[in-house]
Structure 1
Amino acid sequence: MPPRTVTFRAATAAAVIALGATLLAASPQAGAAAAEPAPVTDYCQGQCDDILPPGENGNATLVEILGNKAFGTHPAHSDDQLDRYNGLVAGHTGLTDQKLTEFFNDASFGVPKDQVESVTSPRDDVTITRDKASGIPHIKGTTRYGTEFGAGFAAGQDRLWLMDLFRHIGRGELTSFAGGALANQGLEQQFWPQAPYTEADLEAQVEYIRTHEGARGEQAMADAQAYVDGINAYRDKSKNGRYFPGEYVLTGKIDAITNVGEIQPFKLTDLISIASVVGGQFGGGGGGEVTAALSLLAAQQKYGVAEGTKVWESFRQREDPEAVLTVHDGTSFPYAGKPDKARGTALPDSGSVTAEPLIHDRTGSAGTDRKTPVKAPAALKKAQGIYDDGVIPEGSLPGSGSGAQRRGMSNALLVSGEHTASGNPVAVFGPQTGYFAPQLMMLQELQGPGISARGVSFAGVGMYIQMGRGQDYAWSATSAGQDITDTYAVDLCEPDGSTPTKDSTHYLYRGTCTAMETLERTNSWTPTVADSTAKGSYRMQVRRTNYGIVTHRATVGGKPVAYTSLRSTYRHEADSIIGFQMLNDPSYVTDAASFQQAASHIDYAFNWFYADSRTAAFYNSGMNPVRAADVDPALPVRAERAYEWQGYDPAANTAAYTPFAEHPHSSGQDYYISWNNKQAKGYAAAGFGLGAVHRGDLLDQRVSKLVEQGGVTRASLTRAMAEAAVTDLRGEQLLPELLKVIRSQPVTDPELNAAVQQLESWRAAGSQRRESSPGSHAYTHADAVRIMDAWWPKLVEAEFRPGLGDGLYAALTAGLATDESPAASHGPSGAHSGSAFQYGWWGFVDKDLRQVLGRPVKGPLARTYCGGGDAGSCRDALLASLKQAVAEPATAVYPGDDTCKAGEQWCTDSIIHRPLGGIAQKAIHWQNRPTYQQVVEFPAHR
């Protein structure tokens, strides 16, 4: 097995020595014998704040669940951060540094004595202190084991049911555990095929960390075991004391009267399973090569190979010179670019591609034919849409290559000290993980030997803080989505030498006909109190090869192949634990450079941001495979040794990875913004949509203006974020050009002229989707917003479909949706999810209209499409589509659902925390904003 890249894995000698000294304290026998740790100094001095709605408490007893259903009551601390989070929509305009705690928690270390709500000591060597304000657990241990045990115990207190759900989601067993509701089916169908591990696979990943990561790997697994021990201790206590989550009764796991039943113990492999869900959802990238190949073929069929390829590349926008960048100082980080002359590309024969079936043997009223891929109904699509990254378009399968555009609205705004009022860097940043009740993450503070941090951890993998603050620094992340997943075309064969077909289950691996490994999950369910879905069952099946999971079948040059998806982090779901361990270690992270080194040990594709009193910094992490020379990563490649990743060993899915220096990174730049946009020059996008207009522009333009003015404060940077969070990207960035074309001549139709005037007034007011007054549930420019929501998909089609033709237009929109407004319940993020305007045709429309208007365009589209390039014809097309939009009633623009009546605009936009348990939450105002968010400014440093 080849060694993993030294720059990713080598721990410093000093760190290894220090870890050796702490390993003894990691054993349960160390008990309370360890000395009391020295008091921790909080260098933020009251200038660190955070927020995570709806509330810290994510567990509810049966009585509390029934009370919520009957009377709308909530358990303590289950919803006390919701109003503060929601209040920033109206409150940001008058925001000052002093008012920040009206909308955020005080994220200082510790709990003042007069603010202590409770103190629990599950062992002699750890205390869990909860504060009155939010009930957040502040865990302090005198031993390493005790600290991690306390973290697990607190996780059980706050997220026991959720953790149980997610270990079953990761194993593809959710419906058998929690019922056959479409939402449950959607979750297990979305996640299990990305990481269809056997128990032996999960155990191998635990052992890999222990044996390949040195002293830190041993410490990580000791910490994880202590964390699991803490979860199980709470599990036992809550079961014996009858205060376990009520969902176990409602799903028939425990009898409410006799207490008969069991909550299965947690184990280390459960943590790997949960990590596969979290990392695969938010830290993946690439994998859209089959969808890309189909759109390339459509372009070549319409225009011919040479011209069609040129047209396709102009939409693919691998290196758009107008794209907003996080590293904007001109530094280049070449990766995954287009080769001058590609080798090994394996385009399918036209019409030959079929998706690999996932669902088989379905029974029940929702059944489909045997071996027919599930066509997701609206309810299932909605269930899948609650996740903001990697949502599967209707009718496609997990891992099928449709997830190249990762959905999410994690963002970061950082300004260096030379531009702030204090002279210290200021940061407003946080991850977007969707809106759930309880939340996927939980807030906590960890203080113990070698650990000192406060922030959030994903429930079930909370042995370390994953995003938050240390003693004198803070850090956060956004999903990066660079290309760490490739598609291979494996030649099919038959072991007896006969002619293979597309259905063959053997493939050629380095010259040998090899059987595909078949992995299955059979789930069945019966009605329960919590889920009345009729009795049913189905079998999920995937086939695994040495080049990854089979996603499609096709022919290439007339020969049958299977397309497979190979992700670099596959079989390494929890290796990133080493990087998080470092980020929590105050002896390791002492400045921006050591932070970047720590972040480089995180294998998933994330953009990491850092601020202390001296420096703001950035690093892009990920296991970026070193590809064979001249392989085009945007398209499928032949599964031959010459085109494999360099040093590839399928046994543990290891290869050579790009070194530290080749990842985008920066320290001390004037400012940084990230909203899942392009990281740096030369760092090719993994999919369509990183072009001239991106929602990152909403941040970049505001922050650059603040920097130009100088004197940036925590409040002013927060205001910039909050204003962007309620701004319609189309209104701010595209409407001026649309109006320019339309107003090139007088609009003589009175109805159309009135609509144009409404749009002009909305644009002049800032293109925002905000209430006319707090609580009114009506937008200030409601008619203009309605017109834009109805117009956008119509104008895109009117502008591009005539020139592209039906086939190519359909192929391109399959890879990149046109409509991603907050009200687009049919869009990739689903209804009521908050996330909007990440990917879409904004950049294409922008370039095309500027081409029509004769304005300068860098990286233009290969052709001009609106009106065939004629300004008058373009204007006619836009007006015709606008007329259709004006005539569309609000009830059609905003169709009703389980929450809203048809035509209720504000309600359709509103954010709803999807219940993952028995407690429901009220709807809040739409805002395009991280779920967990920090506002930090450190005035001092160690």
Structure 2
Amino acid sequence: MPRRTPHFALDTVRTPRRFHGFLKTASVCVLITGLLSPFSPAVAAEARPAATAANDYCGGRCSDILPPGENGNATLAQILLNQAFGTQPGHAEDQLGPYADLAKGYPALTDDKVNAFFDDASFGVPADQVASTEKPAGRGDVTIVRDKKTGVPHITGTTRYGTEFGAGYAAAEDRLWLMDVFRHVGRGQLTSFAGGAPANQGLEQQFYRNAPYTEADLQAQIDNAVAGNGARGQQALADVNAYLAGVNAYIDASDSGRYFPGEYVLTGHKDAITNAGTIEHFKVTDLVALASVVGSLFGSGGGGEVNNALSLLAAQAKYGVEEGTRVWESFRERNDPEAVLTVHDGRSFPYATKPDSPQGEALPDAGSVTQEPLVYDRAGSAATSAAKSASTTAARTTLSSARRGMSNALVVSGEHTASGHPVAVFGPQTGYFAPQLLLLQEIQGPGISARGASFAGLSMYVELGRGQDYAWSATTSGQDIIDTYAVELCQDDHHYLYHGTCTAMDQVEQKDAWKPTVADGTAAGSYTMRVWRTEYGPVQYRATVGGKKVAYTTLRSSYLHEADSIIGFQMLNDPGFVKGPQDFQQAAQHINYTFNWFYADSRHTAYYNSGDNPVRASGVDAEFPVWARPAYEWRNWDPATNTAEYTPPSGHPNSIDQDYYISWNNKQAEDYTAAPWGEGSVHRGNLLEDRVKKLAASGGVTRAALTKAMADAALADLRAEDVLPKLLKVIDSAQVTDPATATAVNKLRAWVSAGARRTETSAGSKTYADADAIRILDAWWPLLVKAEFEPGLGSDLYTAFTGNLPVDEAPSAGHGPTGAHAGSSFQYGWWSYVDKDIRAVLGEPVRGPLAQKYCGGGSLTGCRDVLLGTLKQAAGMTAAQVYPGDDQCSAGDQWCADSITQRPLGGIKHYRISWQNRPTYQQVVEFTSHR
């Protein structure tokens, strides 16, 4: 089978031929280990007093975890040993086991057992747990202490510069290779850095199309962020420079000591024998390039207006304009009254609502839309030419799990807890990678006091974690900050009308050439990525509108502003700034990424939805392309700086001390309509809502109880828990006479009665309880959806709608938006459509129904026949047909098909773990006191 989930090229890193023989004898392995020291210079574990922790108000009730492990660097010797024997560098994998074990251990969880599955996140390191103490580059103003259990760096500085220098040094110790990879991804230069493997090409293309920045653009982002934020802006620049100095000091030390990451040898940047070659120092613009990748993955909701237009046109072609629009709106569910909400106190936060009379729409002529080509001048071997067709898949799946996977949060106010203090279990779902995109750290210094997770290369501040007496986390919110404009062409295909003047587009290109490496095995090759930019953003599509040739461009409010959010993170790390929920909300307001932010201290909880939400011109519908004309531009938009008028903080969904908060990338609040497709009556957010609401109503919530609720939802099959009972209700309207179908129905019913979870029979069994029922539903769902909706919609409209929203995202779905082995599941699918349609057929009340009944033509008997026919077909499918196998799993291996893989972004690989649908980095917190 072809690879379903392309990885970064080094997931298949090959041992150089000259080392094959070396690995045959242990003595030579020892020789290699001696030549290429697999560890940083040995630092004796000094006998140190326990950290005072006078500034820690958590009372030992803060915990966190981040698999697979803190150590994300490996020397060549360690990589070779890992590839040959599976051995792991220290602290590379030690958080993977506890993380995986929660899936079976959570039913018996108690508060005193939380740290069997999480790590103690208290400040400091007890004296008997100190593994090493380091003065980076011999500096006297900063100390890095690493603990024995996890190897997490605890950075303490006596000066602000020294503190940030230590943060940079520790980041390079733990993630230098990954940082280097992503600064090249952000510049569209990954293939020249790491080789021409299809996954590398797809990855850089994915980001370059959306952020085609020049070096001047990157520098301007820093300059603008500093200039616009006074003293905090100046401090941010000083922090960045100190951080970079620490990173570069480690590069120099590891180069001279020959303990740099071994991937530099495998990609031809360093010579293992002579040490020839260089590792380039980092500079300020590298960090902006890194930030553009993070912003693109996690913080830029919206877009898709062209695809929306295409499905609307398909609906209108089938039903006519009026009825087709009504059908389209019912499937869009842009403000569904049955959607689960994060802010559920009845307040309304109107944003991007549907205008009564849309103005300026520029819908394409049927059949005229083509995507703007990105790749030009391709040259290379057959292997690299084949990458052209593979690159789209690579771009979609390699890191899409991070973008699509998202995050969750469960927060309960003190009014409903056993202790009277708020309890939170929350974290980001950034995908599963080796090494992980995030790193853990504690930073203590002047104006900084925090522990938690940060993106590698952007860890001058903790981005998600805890302060002295508060903790915070985020989920991706996805509200629409991207609009599509139709720029009318003039003169030729690369000139357009801007405010009535024929204006040349700006051409930005990146020429990327590569040579063969031992990592990817490709021949030498090259290509050019070319993006045409306008004042309204980069060109994404070409079309005609009313016969006029246009280019469709995408403009996002965070374009050219990825660096701005540094101020908000600086504030979150500052104990002098954050002293309560209002301060937290003010800090979150300075973050222009589209995130849901959650907060808990010993007395309060809070929520704030961040992002620069542009104020659109009156009558503009954010769902569709509009003409690039002054009347339809963002209010007070300045194209020179890409700034505009934004909705005020009060217009963003926000709350303090609500009884509880849940978020799993669901709808934020009433009338907050600029959200992705699929936020209807059934959403994976319901899995949290149902459990947390019940806990809060009962009262006495503890850390263990809230963690158990999260873990139980993490194993639930959303389709089985929230939709299958209604399907069975239709089937039960008459007796099932076919024996095979009746057996399938009984298995499904028994699974629902048992809790509708996908869990092993016993820890490590790699076999599911209710395995047959799970197989049947996995096979049935896509057959059911197609048979239920395609006859009524017609194949063209059904296909168009599935382009807006995939039908299924089961754990084993290698074809879905996340790809296989990605963990995160059930975010995108047709569960709400099926739920609403089946309830309508049953005659049950439906708020916000679909425009018509689809299952079986709307009759109960006809719908039952559809369900039984597709169920019989599904029940007859073998495990090998349902789980066809891939590069990691044999056909028919159900557990393996679901399993989570830490996708290699370097030379080290880790074992697969059983599926669970939860954040990658996760905190469990309950503060016992406050300053």
Which TM-score bucket, shorter chain as reference?
Answer: over 0.9
Query: Aligned pair 1:441/2:430, yes or no?
Result: no
Overall identity of the aligned pairs, in %: 67
1:212-250 CA-to-partner distances (Å, cap 9, x unmatched) read: 111101100110110001000000000000000000011
Contact persistence 1:182–1:383 (CA under 8 A): no
Contact persistence 1:388–1:433 (CA under 8 A): no
> In structure 1, what is the equivalent of residue 595 of structure 2?
606
**Structure 1 residue 363: Cα displacement:** 2.5
Contact persistence 2:532–2:538 (CA under 8 A): yes
Equivalent position SS for 1:524: strand
Contact persistence 1:381–1:830 (CA under 8 A): no
**Structure 1 residue 353: Cα displacement:** 0.6
Equivalent position SS for 2:723: helix
TM-score norm. by structure 2 comes to: 0.93
Equivalent position SS for 2:756: coil
1:281-321 CA-to-partner distances (Å, cap 9, x unmatched) read: 10111111000000000000100001100110001111100
Contact persistence 1:433–1:440 (CA under 8 A): yes
Equivalent position SS for 1:630: coil
**Structure 1 residue 533: Cα displacement:** 2.0
Distance 1:640 1:248 in 2: 49
Contact persistence 1:43–1:939 (CA under 8 A): yes
Query: Aligned pair 1:381/2:393, yes or no?
Result: yes
Q: Show the 5 A alignment for 1:795-874.
A: 795-874=784-863
Q: 1:129 aligns with which of 141, 145, 170?
A: 145
**Structure 1 residue 685: Cα displacement:** 3.5
Q: 2:320 aligns with which of 281, 304, 309?
A: 304
Distance 2:368 2:362 in 1: 13
**Structure 1 residue 680: Cα displacement:** 0.3
Distance 1:750 1:685 in 2: 48
Distance 2:109 2:524 in 1: 53
Contact persistence 1:382–1:831 (CA under 8 A): no
Query: Aligned pair 1:269/2:285, yes or no?
Result: yes
Equivalent position SS for 1:716: helix
State the AA in 2 paired with 1:66. L
Q: 1:208 aligns with which of 224, 228, 245?
A: 224
**Structure 1 residue 723: Cα displacement:** 0.5
Contact persistence 1:628–1:644 (CA under 8 A): yes
> In structure 2, what is the equivalent of residue 774 of structure 1?
763
Query: Aligned pair 1:452/2:449, yes or no?
Result: yes
Contact persistence 2:69–2:96 (CA under 8 A): yes
1:673-722 CA-to-partner distances (Å, cap 9, x unmatched) read: 00000000010043311000000000000000111111000000000000
State the AA in 2 paired with 1:289. E
State the AA in 2 paired with 1:645. W
State the AA in 2 paired with 1:385. T
> In structure 2, what is the equivalent of residue 34 of structure 1?
none
1:119-171 CA-to-partner distances (Å, cap 9, x unmatched) read: 11111100000000100000000000000000000001000000000000000
Equivalent position SS for 1:832: coil
Distance 2:133 2:580 in 1: 34
Query: Aligned pair 1:429/2:443, yes or no?
Result: no
Equivalent position SS for 1:731: helix
> In structure 1, what is the equivalent of residue 528 of structure 2?
539
State the AA in 1 paired with 2:473. S
**Structure 1 residue 368: Cα displacement:** 9.3
Distance 1:433 1:897 in 2: 23
Q: Show the 5 A alignment for 1:881-920.
A: 881-920=870-909
> In structure 2, what is the equivalent of residue 688 of structure 1?
677
Query: Aligned pair 1:749/2:749, yes or no?
Result: no
**Structure 1 residue 383: Cα displacement:** 6.1
Query: Aligned pair 1:42/2:56, yes or no?
Result: yes
**Structure 1 residue 366: Cα displacement:** 5.0
**Structure 1 residue 367: Cα displacement:** 7.4
> In structure 2, what is the equivalent of residue 25 of structure 1?
none
State the AA in 2 paired with 1:889. T
Structure 2: runs of 5+ lacking an equivalent? 1-50
**Structure 1 residue 651: Cα displacement:** 1.0
> In structure 1, what is the equivalent of residue 21 of structure 2?
none
**Structure 1 residue 771: Cα displacement:** 0.4
> In structure 2, what is the equivalent of residue 156 of structure 1?
172
**Structure 1 residue 781: Cα displacement:** 0.6
**Structure 1 residue 526: Cα displacement:** 2.3
> In structure 2, what is the equivalent of residue 411 of structure 1?
408
Distance 1:475 1:900 in 2: 38
Distance 2:388 2:671 in 1: 39
**Structure 1 residue 810: Cα displacement:** 0.6
Distance 1:40 1:632 in 2: 53
> In structure 1, what is the equivalent of residue 480 of structure 2?
483
State the AA in 2 paired with 1:482. Q
Contact persistence 2:401–2:819 (CA under 8 A): no
> In structure 1, what is the equivalent of residue 308 of structure 2?
292
Q: 2:213 aligns with which of 174, 177, 197?
A: 197
1:78-100 CA-to-partner distances (Å, cap 9, x unmatched) read: 00000000000000000000001
Distance 1:161 1:703 in 2: 40
Query: Aligned pair 1:75/2:75, yes or no?
Result: no
TM superposition outliers: structure 1 runs of 4+ over 3 Å? 37-40, 364-369, 372-377
State the AA in 2 paired with 1:848. D
**Structure 1 residue 474: Cα displacement:** 0.1
Query: Aligned pair 1:255/2:271, yes or no?
Result: yes
Q: Show the 5 A alignment for 1:110-121.
A: 110-121=124-135
> In structure 2, what is the equivalent of residue 14 of structure 1?
none
State the AA in 2 paired with 1:932. Y
Q: Show the 5 A alignment for 1:507-906.
A: 507-906=496-895
Distance 1:880 1:376 in 2: 36
Equivalent position SS for 2:217: helix
Distance 2:106 2:630 in 1: 57
Distance 1:934 1:756 in 2: 40
Contact persistence 1:339–1:632 (CA under 8 A): yes
Distance 1:573 1:692 in 2: 34
State the AA in 2 paired with 1:785. I
Q: Show the 5 A alignment for 1:170-181.
A: 170-181=186-197
State the AA in 2 paired with 1:442. L
TM-score norm. by structure 1 comes to: 0.92
Distance 1:326 1:689 in 2: 16
Distance 2:101 2:863 in 1: 42
Contact persistence 2:146–2:152 (CA under 8 A): yes
1:56-99 CA-to-partner distances (Å, cap 9, x unmatched) read: 00001111111111111101000000000000000000000000
Contact persistence 2:383–2:523 (CA under 8 A): no
**Structure 1 residue 193: Cα displacement:** 1.2
Distance 1:58 1:358 in 2: 33
Equivalent position SS for 1:453: strand
Distance 2:198 2:875 in 1: 35
Contact persistence 1:288–1:687 (CA under 8 A): no
Distance 1:388 1:671 in 2: 30
Distance 1:127 1:44 in 2: 23
Contact persistence 1:688–1:816 (CA under 8 A): yes
**Structure 1 residue 729: Cα displacement:** 0.3
> In structure 1, what is the equivalent of residue 101 of structure 2?
87
Structure 1: runs of 5+ lacking an equivalent? 1-36, 391-405, 495-499
Aligned residues: 879
Contact persistence 2:168–2:459 (CA under 8 A): yes
- Aligned in 2, Cα 1:662/1:615: closer, same or farther, shift over 3 Å? same
Contact persistence 2:823–2:917 (CA under 8 A): yes
Q: Show the 5 A alignment for 1:24-35.
A: none
CA RMSD of aligned residues (A): 1.4
**Structure 1 residue 536: Cα displacement:** 2.2
Equivalent position SS for 1:275: helix
> In structure 2, what is the equivalent of residue 32 of structure 1?
none
